[in-house]
Structures are given as structure tokens and as C-alpha cells.
Amino acid sequence: MSQFVDTLHRPHPGAATALIAGDEELSYGELERRVAAFAGGLAARGLEAGARIAVWAPKRLDTVVSVLGTMRAGMIAVPINPVLKAPQAEHILADSGASLIVGDPVRLGTLGTRTPQLLLGEEFETFLGQPFEVAQRSTGDLALILYTSGSTGKPKGVMVSHENVTLGAASVAEYLGTSAQDRTLVPLPLSFDYGFNQVATAFRQGACAVLLDYLLPKDVVKAVDRYAITQLPGVPPLWMQLADVDWPEAARRGLKTLTNTGGHMPERLTRRFAEIFPAARIFLMYGLTEAFRSAYLDPALALEKPNSIGKAIPNAELFVLRPDGSEAAPDEPGELVHCGPLVAQGYWQDDEKTRAKFRPAPAFSRYGGNAVWSGDRVRRGKDGLLYFETRADDQIKVSGNRVSPTEIEELAYATGLVREAAAFGVRDDRQGQVIHLFAVAAGTDGSAGGDERELRRAMQARAPGYMVPQTIAWRTELPRSPNGKIDRVALKGELPSD
């Protein structure tokens, strides 16, 4: 049956450019050969179908080759966000049971695990084997495990099938109108479903994907200009930065499609980009990793309905449900439930969390099968469009990154500088949310408080910047509920106002 990696066998011109990173590029023919050779190298080492292969590296050509080659060999790719630090990567390696990790020497050198390593560069070239044909596997077999934080605990792995990837690329290509003439910039991590889909959609259509690891917003502008980018995806914090820089005239003329997800795009930004790129279409979208992508707003409505997330994308069916499972009335808030073939297979080795989020679709669904309960409250307006209301859990979303409060608290405890901690998200115009931490200092009765700068530095050394609190409130003690747990409801009442 068809798999996503079959797309490299489509009749794309072999010499056409498939992938660019800096000054390097691969044609479709060269990409096909390297993907097949990497898959052959995995098979030659005795790794079997279903083995998990982790990839922890910057966006290089062979980072993509490693992910696609793993899928080609009938194994499961586990891309790890390159901004994560060793403790988070080690959790993902242990949880996924990875048989091999591919990456750059700097990152892999920080690991304390015994997982076999493959360094990009000379060692990678030696690893490549005889070309491996596409493994004969069902579309329902796993292609990827994408790790994402929930409302509690450590990151959990979302199980993504070949069908999810294939139909996800087809769906996005359909409503964006992506063609072989497009050049898509990929500034987001490949471990993020939205980032990986930029590559998947480009390859499906025979377009060109341009990989970019950027430090400053002007790096994105330069890449758009240098590579004649026509499609630019982003999350709200990136758009906020890009609104304040000067755009070369060629880049302003060349950009045809702008897409946003990972949080609400403020109306002022939508209008600002409509001014900068008057000929471009602006797609405001909504999605969750557990179902890849869910909704998009027709660009013709971007300025008329800037607060809407639109309607279901192709191959998706969306309902707004009451707690009893019945459909909410127009303008009545309810939980967004996503049905159809884009729904993932659940969480890796976590039946309890899977049962809580993935349940049988409502009887009135035309797709049936499993559906995913998003935990997000939305309403369907009388105009038939969906409008986001709020998250139903305590999950924090900073710059498009989903973070668990428990994960932040555990990170604070690991510094040895606090004995009690409670993390919350606070609304922020630039980043969507920022982290506010209540803490009791370790080693004292708490009356003296703690050193805010020292705690931030210690957390920054162990985790990416988006997991470090912007504000820290020291307390002599944290309120407790009758059962002895920290009273989070009481603490919410002490949060800084929006």
C-alpha cells in the first residue's frame, strides 16, 4: 500500500531541486539515492522493521535523509527538537526505546545514555549501504513518534502513521494550492508536526523545501530573499518579529502564501502582513499534534474574520461537543473533537493517556473510527466558522511550544534551589503565554526568598529558553488543599493580571 516515502518515486524531474540547506542542495534524484542508501545502512546493521531511530540535529540535508530513510526501511523515526537539552533528549530516548540516535557531535556528546550513536559527517557517509526499496508495510504502520508536552508529566510520544503523513501532506497541498513551482521555507523544527509537514507537502508536490536554523528575524528575511521563497510558515512570536523588519522589494513580491498556526495571530499582525504583502494569501490555521492539522480560514476572510480558525481541512471532520457528547448549538462553547484519517494512533506506550484523549468517534461522524478530544473550547458561529475560546487544561503554550507545568516544576526542583514550585501560563501579546513560577527556596525556612537570576541561569543550563520562567514569585510556603496537595486554584488567583 502507498506510503509517504513513495512520493520520492513520483515522476518529479530527477534534476529538480528538492532540498536546500545553506549552500548545499539535493535534487530529487540525489535525495532518493541517499534516502535509499541510509535505509540500506539500517538494514545492514541488523535493525528490523519497527525499530525506533532518533534524530537530534540541526536542519541539515542528512537530517531529513535520516528521517525519510528510517521510514523507507519500515522503521519509526523519532525527531528530537534540536533546542532541547540532554535531560529532555535522554527521556525521549528511554521512552521510545530508540535503537540508534543520529546527530551532530556537540549534542550527542552531552548524552549520558548507552544508546548507539551515529555522527553526521564522515561517519554518516560510511554508514550508508546498498539501496533499499520501500518496505512493504501497511499505511496504518507507524512512521513517526513526535514528542509533545501535555498538561501533566514529561513529553509524550504521539504515534503518527504513514497514512497520517501522506494524507496530511495531501490535505495541506490541496487547500494551500502548493505546486512544483513553489519554494517553501522551513524555519520550524522537524520534530514539530507543522515543521515536518512543510517538507512532506513540498516533496509530495515536487516543490523545493529550504531548511533554515535562524537566530534573528532578519535571517528569515534574508532567506526569503536569497532563495526566492514563495511559501512562509510561522508561529505568532516569529510573525511579531518579522513585522518589525525591513523587507526587500523582491521578497515582498515573491511571497505568495503565509501560514500561521501554534497560537492565535493577533489581528493587528494579520493586517500588517496584508499591507507588507498585498498579493500574498494569509492562512490562519489551527491544529494539534494528535491530529496534525484541523482547521483553516479561507484567506479571503483573513481581514473580515481575523479571530476565526475557519473550517475543517480536507480529510478532517470537526465537531463542537457538550460534556454529554451532543453537539453544541451555534455560538455555544464546547470541546473541539477531530474525526477522520488524520487522527494519530495514540500515545506511545501510554494506554491510560491514550484512552483519555482518543475515543470512538460520535455516532453521527461520517468517518467513524477513533476521534481525538482536543481539550480546547471553541464555538461554531452562526456563520459556520469556528472560533477558539480557551484551553480546557493547564497546558502552557510559549512561542508555539507546548509545555507541561509539571515539566517546568521538575526542572526547577532539579536545580536544587527550590523545595516547592508551581508553574502557570500567563497571557502575553508577543509569545502567546509566558511562564510564571511560584517557588519556595530550598535550604531555608523560605522567609528570605531565593535568587531569581541564579534560578533562571540554572534552569537555562538544563532546558531550552522557552521553558524558563519569565517571572518568579518567592513564597514562604505554597497553599495546600485539604488532601495535602498544592492548591493550584488558590495560586491562580494570585497570578499577574493579563
Three-class DSSP category at 235: coil
- Within 53-142, residue ranges assigned H as helices are 61-72, 86-96, 105-108, 122-127
pLDDT score at 198? 96
H helix or E strand, kind and range, residue 241: helix 236-242
pLDDT score at 138? 80
pLDDT score at 6? 58
Q: What is the band of 9 on the pLDDT scale with cuts at 50, 70, 90?
A: very low
Q: What share of the chain in percent tops pLDDT 70?
A: 93
pLDDT score at 151? 46
pLDDT score at 483? 53
- The structure's pTM equals 0.86
Residue 23: partners with Cβ closer than 8 Å, 6 or more residues away: none
Longest dimension (CA), the chain: 70
Give 214-393's CATH code, choosing from 3.40.250.10, 3.10.20.740, 3.40.50.2300, 3.40.50.12780.
3.40.50.12780
pLDDT score at 268? 81
Q: What is the band of 439 on the pLDDT scale with cuts at 50, 70, 90?
A: very high
Q: What is the band of 269 on the pLDDT scale with cuts at 50, 70, 90?
A: confident
Mean pLDDT of 349-373: 96
Whether 95 has a pLDDT exceeding 90, the answer reads: yes
pLDDT score at 429? 84
What gap in Å lies between CA 319 and CA 213, rounded to an integer?
A: 37
Q: Calculate the average pLDDT of the chain.
A: 91
Residue 468: partners with Cβ closer than 8 Å, 6 or more residues away: 435, 456, 459, 460
pLDDT score at 448? 62
| pLDDT, tens only, 301-320 | 999 999 899 999 999 999 99
Q: What is the band of 444 on the pLDDT scale with cuts at 50, 70, 90?
A: low
Q: List own/partner pairs for 218-221 with CB under 8 A and 24 or more apart.
A: 218/245, 220/185, 220/187, 221/245, 221/246, 221/247, 221/248, 221/251
Whether 150 has a pLDDT exceeding 60, the answer reads: no
Fold held by 396-492: GMP Synthetase; Chain A, domain 3 (3.30.300)
pLDDT score at 395? 76
Backbone angles phi and psi of 326, in degrees to 5: -85, 160
CA–CA–CA angle 191, 390, 267 (5° rounding)? 80
Distances from the Cα of 359 to the Cα of 315, 338, 369, 432, 478, angstroms: 18, 10, 8, 29, 37
| pLDDT, tens only, 174-214 | 999 999 999 999 999 999 999 999 999 999 999 999 999 99
| pLDDT, tens only, 12-53 | 667 799 999 999 999 999 999 999 999 999 999 999 999 999
| pLDDT, tens only, 218-231 | 999 999 999 999 99
pLDDT score at 446? 53
CA 477 to chain centre: 36
CA-CA-CA-CA dihedral for 162, 168, 174, 177, to nearest 10: -110
pLDDT score at 488? 83
Residue 172: partners with Cβ closer than 8 Å, 6 or more residues away: 178, 197, 201, 293, 313
- Map out the domains of the chain as residue ranges: 1-161, 214-393, 396-492
What gap in Å lies between CA 334 and CA 321, rounded to an integer?
A: 5
pLDDT score at 2? 40
- 65: amino acid identity, one letter: V
Taking alpha carbons only, the member of 262, 261, 221, 258 closest to residue 241 is 221
CA–CA–CA angle 413, 415, 417 (5° rounding)? 80
Mean pLDDT of 434-451: 81
Domains 214-393 and 396-492 share a fold: no
Residues 107/115, Cβ–Cβ less than 8 Å:
no
All cell numbers assigned to 274: 496584508
Residue 255: partners with Cβ closer than 8 Å, 6 or more residues away: 224, 229, 230, 231, 232, 277, 280
CA-CA-CA-CA dihedral for 345, 348, 352, 353, to nearest 10: -70
What gap in Å lies between CA 73 and CA 100, rounded to an integer?
A: 14
Q: What is the band of 262 on the pLDDT scale with cuts at 50, 70, 90?
A: confident
CA 353 to chain centre: 19
Whether 449 has a pLDDT exceeding 90, the answer reads: no
What gap in Å lies between CA 402 and CA 466, rounded to an integer?
A: 9
Residue 177: partners with Cβ closer than 8 Å, 6 or more residues away: 257
Mean pLDDT of 461-490: 85
All cell numbers assigned to 478: 505554597
CA 485 to chain centre: 32
What gap in Å lies between CA 207 and CA 20, rounded to an integer?
A: 11
Q: How many CB atoms lie within 10 A of CB 6?
A: 14
Q: What is the band of 1 on the pLDDT scale with cuts at 50, 70, 90?
A: very low
Q: Name beta bridge partners: 231.
A: 184, 257
- Of 284-293, 391-400, 466-475, the poorest mean pLDDT is in 391-400
Residues 293/260, Cβ–Cβ less than 8 Å:
no
What gap in Å lies between CA 19 and CA 31, rounded to an integer?
A: 8
Q: What is the band of 162 on the pLDDT scale with cuts at 50, 70, 90?
A: very high
Tell me the pairing of strands 100-103 and 117-119: parallel
What gap in Å lies between CA 378 and CA 233, rounded to an integer?
A: 24
> What are the DSSP E strand ranges found in 104-197?
117-119, 142-148, 156-161, 183-186
Q: What share of the chain in percent tops pLDDT 90?
A: 74
Fold held by 1-161: Rossmann fold (3.40.50)
